[in-house]
């Protein structure tokens, strides 16, 4: 049985699938970067700055000071590769609700990973509840990121079949 035919069981994604996941991740991440910097700053009065969260996480948990370029690389790698791999695993191993719902759901899950799990570990408030408009914009941005990443990935996968 090939990787392509092994659904809902443990299998690693094919090289083509990983590339398509990364392309979907880049699409979602491109949106996220623009959204986090411009509309978020207008509405919340602050941009979302994930590299600062990454830097704070490393400092609070490991006592390490990492550079802004390193923090950006870690955030970008998460956005274009690790979160898309999470989407793939979740939608291939758990009941699917359809691409649209799966993408939105995965986007909201990434919001909770970032702000409910990592933010407190980085010394920030749970879900950034001290800055509710910033948290709200992060939720919207993550949800749209998840949808776009899933949409591009699934469209590329369908075209390859």
Domain ranges, ordered by start, for the chain = 29-160
Angle separating helix axes 132-160 and 83-93, nearest 10 degrees: 60
Question: What confidence tier does 148 reach under pLDDT thresholds 50, 70, 90?
Answer: very high
Number of H helices, E strands in the chain: 8, 0
Average pLDDT estimate for 15-33: 97
Collapsing DSSP to helix, strand or coil, 48 comes out as coil
Q: What are phi and psi of 114, to 5 degrees?
A: -70, -50
> pLDDT by residue (tens digit) across 131-144?
999 999 999 999 99
> Mean pLDDT of all residues in the chain?
92
Distance CA 92, CA 24 (A): 16
Percentages helix, strand, coil for the chain, rounded to the nearest 5? 80, 0, 20
């Amino acid at each position: 049985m090939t990787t392509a035919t092994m659904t809902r069981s443990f299998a690693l994604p094919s090289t083509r699938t990983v590339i398509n996941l990364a392309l979907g991740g880049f699409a979602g991440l491109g949106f996220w970067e623009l959204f986090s910097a411009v509309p978020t700053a207008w509405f919340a009065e602050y941009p979302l700055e994930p590299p600062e969260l990454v830097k704070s996480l490393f400092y609070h948990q490991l006592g390490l000071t990492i550079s802004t370029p390193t923090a950006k690389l870690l955030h970008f790698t998460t956005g274009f590769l690790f979160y898309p791999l999470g989407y793939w695993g979740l939608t291939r191993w758990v009941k699917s609700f359809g691409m649209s719902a799966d993408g939105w759901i995965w986007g909201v899950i990434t919001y909770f990973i970032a702000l409910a799990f990592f933010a407190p570990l980085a010394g920030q408030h749970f879900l950034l509840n001290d800055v509710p408009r910033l948290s709200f914009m992060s939720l919207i941005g993550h949800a749209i990121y998840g949808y776009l990443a899933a949409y591009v990935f699934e469209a590329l996968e369908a075209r390859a079949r």
